[in-house]
Amino acid sequence: MSDRRGLLIILSSPSGAGKSTLAQRLMRWDPELRFSVSATTRAPREGEQDGRDYFFLSEDAFRKQVADGEMLEHAHVFGNFYGSPAGPVKQTIEAGRDVLFDVDWQGEIQIRNSDLGKHALSIFILPPSIRELHRRLVARGQDSAEVIAGRMKKSWDEISHWGAYDYVLVNDDLEATEARLKTIIAAERLRREQQPRLQSHVHALQAEFEEMS
């Protein structure tokens, strides 16, 4: 048995608020952290690789995995399906490693309500302003003006769910937000529920106490 159970670390935000960049920085900070590679029905973007960035599935294949209970969470976003395979996540946290999720509020709810929900840590990333959010989306250069307009329209709906998360951070300074994230994760790893050996240790202390009485 590992000294601790892993956390399901959920990062959510509207597109452009910085969660993907923060997730990448967390992975560099802790090489033991595992990223939950999502499955999706959308087409690969330039440079993306199957199995590394996403598992690219047909809609029929995706629906079958959901029906078979093989997805920890799934959602329909911007015309495509996204989901997180359940089996690898459970194996990873039982081995004492954290799993990082880059999902929206729908995914956060499903993970929180799953059998593994008690090990979840959810963090929502807010932009400093709506104007800055739009500027970042344009600066990325990944999407057309029509897609950006759709993401902006969707952003307030996503932001409105901020109150369901354990922690909420305003990403007005990337370095400061990264530091706060690390502090949160370090503290949450010490939660009583994440330390499976504590109960046996307390029993040993009790036995020692009774022996000395």
Is residue 175 one of the residues assigned to a domain? yes
Is residue 180 one of the residues assigned to a domain? yes
Pairing of the two strands 80-85 and 71-77: antiparallel
Sign of CA pseudo-dihedral 44, 50, 55, 60 = positive
Is residue 165 one of the residues assigned to a domain? yes
pLDDT in tens, 97-140: 999 998 888 889 999 998 889 999 999 999 988 888 888 888 88
Residues paired with residue 169 on neighbouring β-strands, in sequence order: 125
For the chain, the distance separating the N- and C-terminal CA atoms, rounded to the nearest angstrom, is 31
Pairing of the two strands 34-35 and 39-40: unpaired
Is residue 69 one of the residues assigned to a domain? no
Q: What is the pTM of this model?
A: 0.80
pLDDT in tens, 32-63: 999 888 899 999 999 999 988 898 999 999 99
Is residue 155 one of the residues assigned to a domain? yes
Is residue 21 one of the residues assigned to a domain? yes
What SS3 state is found at 35? strand
Is residue 92 one of the residues assigned to a domain? no
Is residue 67 one of the residues assigned to a domain? no
Pairing of the two strands 39-40 and 80-85: antiparallel
- Domain containing residue 129: CATH number: 3.40.50.300
Q: Say how many domains are in the chain.
A: 1
pLDDT in tens, 58-101: 999 999 989 988 899 998 878 999 898 888 898 999 999 999 99
Please, how many CA atoms are within 13 Å of residue 90, restricted to the half-sphere of its CB? 9
Closest CA to 19 of 184, 145, 169: 169
- Domain range for 160 is 8-36+98-212
DSSP per-residue string spanning 168-192: EEE-SSHHHHHHHHHHHHHHHTTSG
Residue 1, pLDDT > 70, answer no
Residues 6+ away with beta carbon under 8 Å from 174:
18, 21, 22
Closest CA to 178 of 49, 70, 28, 25: 25
